[in-house]
Structure 1
Amino acid sequence: MSSLGTDGGGTAHNAAYNTVSGDAVIVGPVLMAQHIEGLRLPTPPPDVPPRQGPMPSRVFVNRTKELADLRDAGLSLAAGPEPGVVLVVGVGGVGKTQLVAQAVRRELHQLYPDGQLHVDLADHRRDGVVDLAAVLGEFLRALKVHKDYVPAGLAERTALFRSVAAGLRLLVKVDDVQHAPEARALVPPRGLLVATGRRVLPSLLMDGAVLIDVAPLDETAGTELVRRLHADADEGTAADVVRLCAGHPLALRAALEWLAARPQPTLDDVVRDLTAGRYGTGDDNGVRKEMAVAKGARGGTGEGGVGEAVDAVLDSVVAGVAGHTRHLYDLLGVLPGTTATADLLTAAGATRVDEGLGELLSCRLAVLVESSDRPRRYRLHDVVRAHARLRARALPEERRRAALRLVVDFYADAAAHGDALVLGDRFRIQPPPGRPLSELGVRGPLFTGRAEALEWLDAERVNLRSAIRVAADERWYEAVWRLCESLWALYHSRKHLADCVESGLLGIEAAQHEARPDVEIRMRNQVARAAYELGDLDRAESQLDAAADLLGPAGDPRLTGVVQESRGLIALARGRSEESPGAAHRRAEEARQLFEHALAANRAVPDPHGIVVQGYNVAQALVAGERWADAFDVLDEAAETARATGDEPMLPRIDLVRARALAGAGSLDRA
């Protein structure tokens, strides 16, 4: 493309001519200028392709046919101009993800050299629906798109992902695919998508996907695995173990690695006791009886006889670990979300956490999650998680609720500290958290500084969202809205807008239950801002209308200010879509008046940060209405207040609006 340089008001001038040509795909700012005296750019991220996904295990047997099928599919699809899809299907825990990891290490990484992306959709699924926008946001950041250039909506993120990946040979690995559209949205334009799931998806096969069916290990392969892990096992006993576990790799490894850590009993003893169903200790018998009832109603953790076999083995392994480890396992079954840290488990009342986690890891009941954030995170395999949650259903209700309350309170305090670091001295309804940040971490603060706080909030996003739902279900309404208010720092910064709407609606209900009109206004405003950024202006306005009806009894004038501010932003957005200059100017004037009301509300408190923000907004409306001189006066006042109160982050934003005003007034050099 080519263009004349333009000023902020859109007026063309002939000082410089700039060209970007060819098949360029541009993500981020492009600087076009005739003369540059000095320029400082941020340090770019490391120029290495992403290599995401679980590491391949050293102990891997058989699967010769499945590996060959994956290799052949990869070779065939890599040779063509179109993207390819492979669907790997099998019961939970049968080894689908490990099979893919082995295939990537052996051959597929050479066919798709530009990177490997991985996601487990279980981390993004709620009520059967996957937040694909969040998944694509993670993919875009892995492909080095700066977070500030990741758009808000699903359609825009999909388009950007396809643009960024258009010239790359990418391998995308997706676990827990349950519906064809989930896979289709993540197919790279010139690469391969390998999706794992528990059932065949006929519509994907009709699209041309290659199907690979992963069955439990047969007796020969299972026996080989047993003897690799337990070298002194005779062939007959090893075969008995395979039959007892129905050839399920997860059950085999859990049973054998638990046994390997103990000098007694022998493998023959384990087989004999598994067959007789004699495992169990005194404090576990009540749980086992309740589990038997629950299993009868639910049908076990897996499919048919395989699920029953896995349940039997997991029962035995859990019964044989140390008491504190068993209690930790039960706690993991109670927790909302998908991962846990030692900090969270300690806050929830667990003891000897490191020892317990170590034993769960050695027994293959838990896995360490690969993560770039500071805390080490642990998760249960989905089959193991189902078993742990089945046990949790058999626990005394009082014990379960007490643990959940500790978890919710931990997240409410931690999120409040994160919000304070990310957004600073903004208006908040909730009081400061009751515990200092230093008390929430086992080995030190959960995070230090704005960047770490935001990364922690983002890493805990799924768990925080689950904590809000649990608090709502348990009718802990104050915790619901406290979490919702604090998470604006995450949702606004990382554009998790669907999460913001979902949690905000729960926050509205919580506020109504507590008869807190001030909180309801805040929650409705957050939903409105998310809808505004998603482009749903009508929904945003309907939420603001409902909030405005509550302003009388709400008290703090800043609540009026936040509603008027949101209305002003909507007016500016509608003005940008107006075709005639006159209509656009009328919208700009409407926005200015709304921002002036918000400014007055913040002056009434007074709230210095709110005064600066609303002055900045008034100036934006004046610039949109081409009232350049008036904008300068407002900007000068806002900048003076920001400097006097230490509100440094607002100064660059003020200067950007000043530059647009200068350009509109014709002072291009100053702009």
Structure 2
Amino acid sequence: MRVNLLGPVELVSAGGEAVRVGAAKRRTVLAALALELNRVVSGDRLLALVWDGAPPPQAKAALQGHIAQLRKVLDDGVSLVTRAPGYVLTGDRDAVDVFRFEDLIAAAREADDEAAAAQLTSALRLWRGPVLADVPADQLREAVSARLEELRLVAVQDLASRLFRLDRAGEAVSGLREAVDGHPLREPLVARLVLALHRTGRQAEALELFHRTREQLAEELGVDPGPELREAYQAVLAGDAPPPSPPPSPPAPVERPTAVPAQLPREHRGFVGRDAELCALEEALTGQDSAIGLLVGPAGVGKTALALRWAHRAAGDFPDGQLFVNLRGFDETEPLDPRAALVGFLRALGLSDSQIAADLEDQAAQYRSLLAGRRVLVVLDNARSAEQVRPLLPGSSRCLVLVTSRHLLDDLVVTEGATSLQVQTLPEQNAEDLLAAALGRQRIEQEPEAVAELVELCDRLPLALRIAGARLASRPRWTVQSLVDELRDEQGRLSGLSLEAGRGVHAALAVSYRELPEAAARLLRRLGLHPGTDLDSYTAAALMDINVVTARTHLRTLAYANLLHESMPDRYSRHDLVRLFTHQLAATDSEADNAEATSRLLDYYLHVADAARAHLSDHVRPFAPPAHRPASSPELSSHAAALEWFTLEEANLGLALDIAQGGGQHQRTWQLALCLDAFHFRRGNRLDRLALCRIGLSAARELGDAHAEATFLLRLGSTLADMGRIEEAVRACTDAARLASGDRHLELAALANLGYCLMADGRLDEAQERITEALELAREVGDTRSQASGLNNLANVLLAKDRPEEALRHATEALGLFGSVAPTKAHTATLHTVGAANQRLGRLDEALESYRAGLALAERLGDRYQEALCHRAIGDVLEQQESAEAALPHWVSALRLYRDLRLADADDLARRLDPTPLHPNPLHPAPR
């Protein structure tokens, strides 16, 4: 079976019969896969090619349908295989006419005139029209048509030259005439047709063709005919028609150069690690036709060093030479013009300056012609854009290209099928090895802790590590610790990682910054005001005071330039040295602008955190709208969404709280503290809750806000009670009840918390009185959730009084009330209480059922404290029912949660699991 692409897309059976492919999109899929024969084409790239870069929502399903239909019609040695991350069409090169055409052209160059004429004629007969004539995908067609059309025209010219020498000029006329009709200003073609007409006795036609071409050249290009066409004209006038000499201008074939270029620079001394990246390059590029490798990463990450290490290893596989050029895409000077790069390559391939064409397209054609059929490795270092790279891509399928860039260069992935590899910073051990290469292993081993810290201060970035190593190597009396002490100061770290000549991390980042569009550059400066290491597009929008769609565009621009990297969908992070660089950039804006942006940032976090806590806490009273209400914010429509947002933003919210507190912004401080407390309450983190309550309480008192003060006293009381500090807890809740006077809901919360604290202190009668008062008040104000919580608290008091039957009745009533409201932490606690009452009554199956229901709800709500309690209780029941072995997995889970939450219960459970401290236990790691 054959796939024909040189014209309309055709599928032909082994018997020569046309096989119906079907829809235009299906023909496009077949063409895209056939052009990458025996190479995997990712699903994303196929979608981009088939739908011209804009696949609709249903495109993935449609693509899978086309793949399934193609598999039904493919046979006889051509098959379509699913292979991560996409699909591959497998078969011999002869199965696709494009590759048959290329192979015949390559074979003709090595053959004598008779054989070459036959091979070139066979190659040209494969053409049935324009490449991919019936394929609607412009991107796919444009990516291959220019190269193949160039090869076709070179073949027509070469065939004519061969036929002239065989005295068969008449056979060349029709092919030349068709080619000239399509390219009337291509002088090498016209010159050959003039000579072919003359040799077949049609001098008048030959002269008319020359004069017509001369007029067109003058009208359209403003030039006279070149030397080759003028020589052909003179030959007609003289009645002589010698075979044409090879023309100096493209795209006539050029003789194989006698010299084999070997332009690879020496490898970087002290290269370390990168085994995974080298293996990935080997797997992606070795043995592949027309392979293009793309190494992308931030400034100073070692892309060039990695490219040269792989290129030197692979050089033996490219006997026709290795070409290298630094495209200077991110130097202080202007990027290298592709024309200059091509001139250098053409000289290296054997052309003299007089033979090199003047314009870019003709130079690229010469370059492709010289490399056709040859096996050459081309390394394009420090590329700025796909446009800079594209003219330097060989046409030969036997050549391999390796590109390095700070930019992602997605265009090359989509249109040229490049394989992209992100180059990350070095692992810790490799980073230390790099320092050892500069300083010697002995000096490194003398200060292991200082070396480890230096590695992190350098962000494990090879450029920074090399500079640090060079500074220490030139100062033998310095200790590593002395440089660490200098670099700890964030204000001077970037200057400390720079060389006297001005080269270094700051200079490298500055070049990337200067090349940014203005809006993206402004966002990078604004990021200097953000205290964290990562953020989403909504946060960026708040900093810039723009909508989220525009913010996403700017963030993608920064990620494209490798100043940020997308750590997860719509979330971007930055390396620490980039963070310090953005701090310096932010200082170039006015203080007023920066203060306004910081206020917007704090109000954004406060606005979304307030919306999120509404899903995590009972009786939430929304804050008044902030002064800077964000234009865009994430939709948190569920408990799970709110918990996920808090989890992602926990560190940023803590840093925002630091900014508010440090700036004396008491209102924002207590409000942010309250929102974070809601999250930590749900997660069961007692120590963090304690710190937050104290911060919020202090800010509320500074403001003289009695309501806020009472709110934090209540939260402080319950947290202290959970930590076993009962006397302090009772005092805090008593003070809260006093301040809450007049606010029924706050009074209700104060009574409930006071009852809880008294119960924890063993003052069960007083606790029952306060809880009963709270329960009555909840019924009075119609608060269902508080009624249910009150009943559960009452049940726990009754359990403590050893009255499990009454406790079970109250807890069951509470469950009924919880069934009418959205599930909360109190609902999970009540399921635990029902389990405890049943367990006390000896109803172990019922107890286990309640505990397991409580565990499932706690996991769904992200309540790790209740998860721990339920795991512990399930283990206890299983021990009673079966054995300690059955209980062990649940006890282990409970212990891990206790330790994560830093609860005193951990020690008790650990002793139960391993009562003999002398014996090692997997839950108790041996001390180091």
* Pairwise CA distance, 1:392: 1.9
Q: CA separation in 1, counterparts of 2:427 and 2:768?
A: 49
Give the CA RMSD over aligned residues. 5.0
Q: Mark the structure with the bigger radius of gyration.
A: 2
> SS of the residue aligned with 2:566?
strand
Alpha-carbon distance change, 656 to 353 in structure 1, aligned in 2, over 3 angstroms:
closer
Where in structure 2 are there 5+ consecutive unaligned residues? Answer: 1-266, 277-297, 306-423, 469-488, 848-928
Over 3 Å counting, the alpha-carbon distance change for 1:346 and 1:464 in structure 2 is same
Equivalent residue number for residue 54 of structure 1: none
Distance 2:793 2:434 in 1: 49
Aligned to 2:715: 526
Check 1:542–1:346 CA distance in 2 against 1; reply closer, same or farther (3 A cut): same
TM-score between both structures, scaled by the size of structure 1: 0.51
- Counterpart of 1:551 in structure 2 is 737
Q: Give the CA deviation at 1:469.
A: 1.7
Shift of 1:631: 1.8
Residue 485 in structure 1 maps to residue 683 in structure 2: no
How many residues are treated as equivalent by the alignment?
Answer: 409
Question: Residue in 2 aligned with 1:627?
Answer: 803
Instruction: With the length of structure 2 as denominator, give the TM-score of the two structures.
Output: 0.38
2:609 is matched with 415
Contact 2:532 2:651 (8 Å CA) reproduced: yes
Q: Say which of 576, 585, 592 aligns to 1:391.
A: 585
User: 1:524·1:547 contact (CA, 8 Å) conserved in 2?
Assistant: yes
Structure 1 residue 414 displacement after superposition: 0.9
Deviation at 1:209, TM superposition (A): 8.4
Tell me the equivalent position of 1:73.
none
Q: 1:433 to 1:417 in 2, by over 3 A?
A: farther
Distance in 2 (alpha carbons) for counterparts of 1:602 and 1:198 = 67
**Alignment check: 8 A CA contact 1:93 1:248 kept:** no
Deviation (angstroms), 1:613: 0.7
**Deviations along 1:215-271, whole A, 9 cap, x unmatched?**
99xxxxx9xx9xxxxxxxxxxxxxxxx9xx99569xxxxxxxxxxxxxxxxxxxxxx
The answer to whether 1:404 aligns with 2:618 is no
The 8 Å contact of residues 623 and 631 in structure 1, kept in 2 or not, is answered as yes
Q: Which amino acid aligns with 1:354?
A: R
Question: Of the candidates 288, 297, 301, which is equivalent to residue 494 of structure 2?
Answer: 301
* Structure 1 residue 590 displacement after superposition: 4.4
Which residue matches 2:775?
599
User: 1:407 aligns to what SS in structure 2?
Assistant: helix
CA distance in 1, matches of 2:765, 2:268: 72
Aligned to 1:129: none
What is the CA deviation profile of residues 47-90 of structure 1, one whole-angstrom value per residue up to 9, with x for unaligned ones? xxxxxxxxxxxxxx8586643999xxxxxxxxxxxxxxxxxxxx
> Aligned letter for 1:612?
A
Contact 2:796 2:833 in 1 (8 A): yes
297-306 or 595-604, which deviates more: 297-306
Q: Does 1:318 align with 2:516?
A: no
Matched with 1:509 is 698
Partners of 2:598 and 2:448 in 1: CA distance: 45
CA contact (8 A) 2:432 2:451 kept: no
Name the CA shift for 1:206/1:320 in 2 (closer, same or farther; >3 Å).
closer
Structure-2 separation of matches of 1:561 and 1:197: 64
Secondary structure at 1:421 match in 2: coil
Aligned twin of 2:543: 348
Deviation of 1:511 (Å): 0.9
The CA deviation at 1:498 is 3.8
Residue 472 (structure 1) aligned to one of 641, 658, 661? 661
Aligned AA (1:331): R
Look up the equivalent residue of 1:610 and give its one-letter code. S
Larger RCO (CA within 8 A; separation ≥ 6): 1
Contact residue 588 and residue 625 of structure 1 kept, 8 A: yes
Decide which of 255, 263, 273 is 1:67's aligned counterpart. 273
Q: CA deviation at 1:646?
A: 6.4
Aligned AA (1:385): R
Change (3 A) 1:343 1:642: same
Q: Once the two structures are superposed, what CA deviation does each residue of 1:152-198 show, in whole Å capped at 9, x if it has no partner?
A: xxxxxxxxxxxxxxxxxxxxx99999xxxxxxxxxxxxxx9999999
Partner residue of 2:645? 456
8 Å CA contact retained: 1:417, 1:433: no
Q: Deviations over 1:356-395 (max 9, x none)?
A: 22332233322222x4xxx521122111111211222342
Q: Is the CA contact (8 Å cut-off) linking 1:94 and 1:214 kept in structure 2? A: no
Inter-CA distance 527–664: structure 2 relative to 1 (3 Å threshold): same
Matches within 5 A, 1:110-189: none
Task: Tell me whether 544-553 or 394-403 shows the greater mean CA deviation.
Answer: 544-553
Deviation, 1:611, is 1.5
Distance 1:606 1:478, change over 3 A: farther
Structure 2 matches for 1:265-304, cutoff 5 A? 298-299=491-492, 301-303=494-496
Aligned equivalents of 2:576, 2:511: Cα separation in 1: 18
Contact 1:561/1:602 (<8 A) preserved: yes
Return the alpha-carbon distance in structure 1 between the equivalents of residues 661 and 434 of structure 2.
Answer: 31
State the 1:589 CA deviation. Answer: 3.9
Question: Would the alpha carbon gap of residues 393 and 642 (structure 1) be closer, same or farther in structure 2, given more than 3 Å must change?
Answer: same
Question: Is 1:337–1:462's contact at 8 Å kept on the other side of the alignment?
Answer: yes
**1:440 alignment partner AA:** S
**Per-residue CA distance 1:407-433 (angstroms, 9 max, x = gap):** 11111121122122234xx12344476
Are the counterparts in 2 of residues 491 and 497 from structure 1 also a CA contact under 8 Å?
yes
Cα distance in 1, alignment partners of residues 820 and 449 from structure 2: 62
Deviations 1:509-547 (A, max 9, x none): 2211221112112223334444444x3x33x64365245
Secondary structure of the corresponding residue to residue 573 of structure 2: strand
How high is the sequence identity, in percent, across the aligned residues? Answer: 20
Out of 478-487 and 398-407, give the one that drifted further. Answer: 478-487
SS in 2 for 1:400: helix
- Measure the CA separation in 2 of the matches of 1:648 and 1:499: 21
